[in-house]
Amino acid sequence: MRQKILFLDDSEARLNQAANYFGEEELYLARTAEIAINRLSMLAPWDLVMLDHDLGQKYTQDSEDPGSGMEVVRYIERTLPEIKKIIIHSWNAPAANSMRFRLVGAGYSVSYQPFQSLKET
């Protein structure tokens, strides 16, 4: 059975790599937090959700920055959609760790793997 995966990233190259890597799976790509939230709300349950933090903006640790991956985390905390596993793949380690902390606190299975390490597996 194919896994249902949501992949959030604003990089066209990373979106293409995800499409190639997960080609056999039911993959949903999102370039913005708004698109990711829309898909999360309409297509649950999920086998895997992969989140970036910095979406089209400069590197930031501000967890209140609208439009970042943290906005998706706040949505997940509020609505608790059914998600088996979450991977934070942002290269922004401080923000990724904050995202992970909040999601673990909400009861999710979460790991932090910067995108480069995903490409190597």
CATH T-level topology, domain 4-120: Rossmann fold (3.40.50)
Q: Which of 32, 77, 37, 26 is nearest to 56 (CA)?
A: 32
Helix H segments across 12-54? 12-21, 33-43
For residue 70, give both structure tokens.
Answer: 């943290």
- pLDDT (0 to 100) of residue 9: 96
Per-residue pLDDT at 121? 46
Max CA separation in the chain (angstroms): 39
Domain-wise residue ranges, the chain: 4-120
pTM for this prediction: 0.89
Kindly report, residue by residue over 40-55, the tens digit of the pLDDT: 999 989 999 999 999 8
- Is 67 within 8 Å of 32 (Cβ atoms)? yes
Residues 6+ apart with CB under 8 A from 50: 5, 6, 7, 8, 9, 18, 86, 87, 88, 89
The list of the chain residues with pLDDT below 70 reads 57-66, 117-121
Total length of the chain: 121
